[in-house]
Amino acid sequence: MLTKKQISENFAEGLRLMDEFPLGAAPAQKAARKIAKALADMNIPYVVADGLAVHAHGHARATVDVDLIMTKADLARFKERWLGLGWVEKFKGSRGLRDAEFNVKVDILTPDEKPGDGKVTPFHFPDPSTVGTEVGGIWAGVKVLDLRTLIELKLASGISSPHRPQDFADVIQLIRANKLDRDFSGRLHQYTRAKYEELWGYAQVEEDF
């Protein structure tokens, strides 16, 4: 169990993030913009995924790390140029990075991987050059996953990794935030359609608070 001190520190950190995220001033947001600029300067295709992409598409929830999709070859190019100059590896040879300035983890997903448990999903992470969109505002100049692909990946991850309920919770909130209809399922991979329609039903439940 957490100590009282740890609970107090976590509570204070949560309040700080709640204040910083609407302003685009949270460490993860700063780290995302920083690496996005470095990648763009090198003409490396990438997209911001997972929690930050969810936030960019209208569901305001805080997160403490950055998830990017890029190819292994482009990751190698980035590391050759930037390791030791603002970014370090989590461990030697790892795909994961850490922004040394903001002390933020940067997790890299690649198109040769499958979402979720990495085994049962019948499709891979997408080519980042085909699924990026700019949403403006505090994300101006940053490529994030388009909404359809974000929802598809979240559904696939939740289906194959049921110990990660946050993925389904994110989909429900994205449906609400973007006022998506049930027919949106027709735009998704067949593997994810039934689960989308199930979660769409939950998204229609009005909350009393």
CATH of the domain at 114: 3.30.460.40
Domain assignment of residue 63, given as a range: 4-203
Average pLDDT, the chain: 93
In a domain, 209, yes or no: no
User: Per-residue pLDDT for 42 more than 70?
Assistant: yes
User: Per-residue pLDDT for 109 more than 90?
Assistant: yes
Task: Report which secondary-structure segment, H or E, holds 47.
Answer: strand 47-49
Closest-CA residue to 143 (of 67, 77, 83): 67
In a domain, 79, yes or no: yes
When divided into structural domains, the chain yields a total of 1
> What are 90-104's pLDDT values in tens digits?
999 899 999 999 999
In a domain, 180, yes or no: yes
pLDDT at 86: 94
d(CA 168, CA 162): 9
Please, what is the angle between helix 147-160 and helix 166-178, to 10°?
Answer: 150
- Determine whether 87 is exposed, middle or buried from the number of CB atoms within 10 Å of its CB (0-12, 13-18, 19+): buried
In a domain, 83, yes or no: yes
In a domain, 208, yes or no: no
In a domain, 123, yes or no: yes
User: Per-residue pLDDT for 209 more than 60?
Assistant: no
pLDDT at 13: 74
